Amino acid sequence: MAKAHESLSDDETKTDGGAARRRDPRLKELGISCMLNTEVGSILAVIRRPSPSDPVADDPTAFSTASSHLVNSLKSLRSLIFHPRHSAWRFTDPSVYLSPFLDVIQSDDVPAAATGVALSAVLKILRLDVFDERTPGARDAIHSIVSAITNCRLERTDPISEDAVLTRVLQLLSVVLRARASVLLTDHAVCTVINACFQVVQQSAHRTDLLQRSARHTMHDLVQAVFARLPEVRAAESGDLGSDLEDDDGPPVGYGARCMVDIFHFLCSLLNVGEMVDFIEGYGSPSISSDEDVQLFALVLINSAVELGAKQLGSTRSFLG
């Protein structure tokens, strides 16, 4: 029997009688505000009470001076959150509420716990679709997130805390490529995300088994997310999108076959045991891969890419060139 009701949108809910009614948009706005306020408060609490194992904890004055800019930035955001004249979050430049968290992620003057909370905050912002590809400033915002992840500072932490932060980094990398605004990412940015994840995969070889499994799972997920767009790229190359490329009301066209070709070549290069594996020039540091296990992992990734793009790989000019 066919279902009586189709799935409801994010802005709809069901009454006791089963009828759909519009959810008050102010409730979502309030929920986002409360979430941001909670994350800001959590980071401020961690910064003000750094872990005893943190090197800067022995000198509270020095820590306060180094983190004063971060604290002021977070306080400014908190004062804006419930401001009566504040417009809807979807129409607010994302950099307004992202910058304080991204600054914490890139700072080496905060404890690992604060970095972890900041990563979690950005993760929630993306999962809640606080901004999308149509939000003013979304392009700069999604690229600033990628930049912050790749510049995440972990110098002042212990191995256990570092593993916890790296796990958050992996989660955020996965969500970035699946967020609605991910269509605005450039080829270079997508390659940077893949390279950042691969670096964690390499680091995890000398860490806990859980982190290693998480890193490889995330790498697999990222490859699937990228190559899942190949049909759209093929349509664009064939001119099927036509006027949409120039139509402001059409869907944004983001990264394309160029990054997919580079990623595919990189995965194939992992099969060369004992040779230097150097990712696309300018995206990251070279690394040594001589483990047969890495070869098997690369084959799994290549297989996923081929499965997702089987019909398009052979007919896409960029792959044949």
- Could you read off the pLDDT of 138-160 as tens digits, one per residue? 999 999 999 999 999 776 567 88
Mean pLDDT calculated for residue range 118-128: 96
pLDDT of residue 27: 84
pLDDT of residue 205: 84
pLDDT of residue 49: 74
- Could you read off the pLDDT of 210-243 as tens digits, one per residue? 999 999 999 999 999 999 888 776 666 555 444 3
Dist. CA 143–CA 94, nearest whole Å: 11
Mean pLDDT calculated for residue range 122-133: 95
pLDDT at 2 over 60: no
Percent of the chain with pLDDT over 70: 70
Going by pLDDT thresholds of 50, 70 and 90, the confidence category of residue 118 is very high
Dist. CA 222–CA 45, nearest whole Å: 33
pTM higher than 0.75: yes
Percent of the chain with pLDDT over 90: 48
Tell me, what DSSP letter sits at residue 302?
A: H
Mean pLDDT of the chain: 80
pLDDT of residue 85: 76
In contact, 211 and 204? CB cutoff 8 Å? yes
In contact, 11 and 22? CB cutoff 8 Å? yes
pLDDT of residue 158: 78
Mean pLDDT calculated for residue range 181-200: 95
pLDDT at 28 over 70: yes
Cα 145 off chain centre by: 7
pLDDT of residue 1: 47
pLDDT at 190 over 70: yes
Domain boundaries, the chain: 25-185, 186-240+255-321
* HEC assignment per residue over 145-159: HHHHHHCCCCCCCCH
- Could you read off the pLDDT of 305-317 as tens digits, one per residue? 988 876 666 665 5
pLDDT of residue 247: 44
How is 194-222 classified by DSSP, letter by letter? Answer: HHHHHHHHHHHTTS-HHHHHHHHHHHHHH
pLDDT of residue 317: 57
- Token digits for 274? 């004992």
Neighbours of 36 (CB within 10 A): 24
Q: Which amino acid is at 247?
A: D
pLDDT of residue 308: 83
